[in-house]
Homo-oligomer: A and B are copies of this chain.
Amino acid sequence: MINKADKNITDVLSQIKDGATIMIGGFGTAGQPAELIDGLINLGVKDLVIINNNAGNGDHGLAKLLKTGAVRKIICSFPRQSDSWVFDELYHAGKIELELVPQGNLACRIQAAGMGLGAVYTPTGFGTLLAEGKETRHIDGKDYVLEYPIKADFALIKASRGDRWGNLVYRKSARNFGPIMAMAAEVTIAQVSETVDLGELDPEYVITPGIFVQHVVQIQPTSTEPASDEYASTATTATA
C-alpha cells in the first residue's frame, strides 16, 4: 500500500543532494512552501539551481536560502522587488547567476517539461534582449522564439490539502506554479495544511493528481501564528 505522506520533512528532504535543480512554488510569498525551504536550509546542500518566479522577499523563505550561499543560479522572471535585498546584494557581488525568463515562458517551459515536449515556439520575447541568440521562426504570419523545457530534480510546492496517494488541492492564488512544477520535476514534495483520507478529495476537483506527487508533508498550524497561511516549521507524520 502506498502512503506518500508517511515521512517528515527532514527524511523527505534528505534525498536532495548538492547540485540539485529545484523548482520552488509560489508567487511572492503566496504559495511559497516556507517550511520545506527552511528544511532545505537545514539540510545544508549547496550549488543549487533554483527555479521560482521571484528571487526572494525580505529575509525569510527563499531569500534566507539565497543568503546561505547555497544557490549557484536562479531562473526567474522578476528578481527585482522592493524587498529583494538579499538577491540584490548577491547579484551585484557576482555571487549568483541569473537566468531571466519572461513569466509566461517560464510557465510554458515548465509545462513543456511536464508534457514531454522537446521544445516550443513561443511568441513571447521575440525581438527582445531576452531572445538574443535564440532560434526564431516565422509561422503563419507571426514571429516565434524556440524555447526549451525547464526540468527539475525536485519541486517543492505548497498545497492546502492532500491525501496519501499524493492528490492535491490548493488555496486561492497560492496555486500559481504548484500544479505545473509538480508535473515537471522528477520528485515533487508538497507541503499541505491538512492530510485527508482517500476519497475525501472529490475526483472531479483534484487539481494535481497523485501521479505528479511523490511526497506529501503535513505542516501543523500553530495557534501562536496570526495569519492562516503561517505555520510552525514542525513537520508531523501525516495520518492517512
Contacts and interface: CB of A to CB of B under 8 A. Distances in A.
Interface of A: 108, 112, 115-123, 137, 139-140, 142, 144, 148, 169-172, 202, 204-205, 207
A144 B121 CA distance: 14
A119 B144 contact: yes
A122 B162 CA distance: 32
A108 B117 contact: yes
16 contacts: A108-B117, A117-B120, A118-B137, A118-B142, A118-B144, A119-B120, A119-B121, A119-B137, A119-B139, A120-B120, A120-B121, A139-B148, A140-B148, A170-B204, A202-B205, A204-B207
A139 B123 CA distance: 20
Residue of A117, A142, A169, A172 with most chain B CB atoms under a 10 A cut-off: A117
A118 B123 contact: yes
Nearest to A160: B204
A115 B137 CA distance: 17
Contacts of A121: 117-120
A116 B112 CA distance: 13
A112 B140 CA distance: 14
A108 B118 contact: no
Contacts of A148: 139-140
A184 to B, nearest CB: 14
Nearest to A171: B204
A169 B108 contact: no
A112 B172 CA distance: 26
A167 to B, nearest CB: 14
A105 to B, nearest CB: 11
A123 B119 contact: no
Contacts of A115: 108
A192 to B, nearest CB: 15
Contacts of A116: 122-123
Contacts of A205: 202, 204-205
A183 to B, nearest CB: 13
A219 to B, nearest CB: 20
A202 B117 CA distance: 32
B123 A140 contact: no
Residue of A108, A115, A121, A205 with most chain B CB atoms under a 10 A cut-off: A121
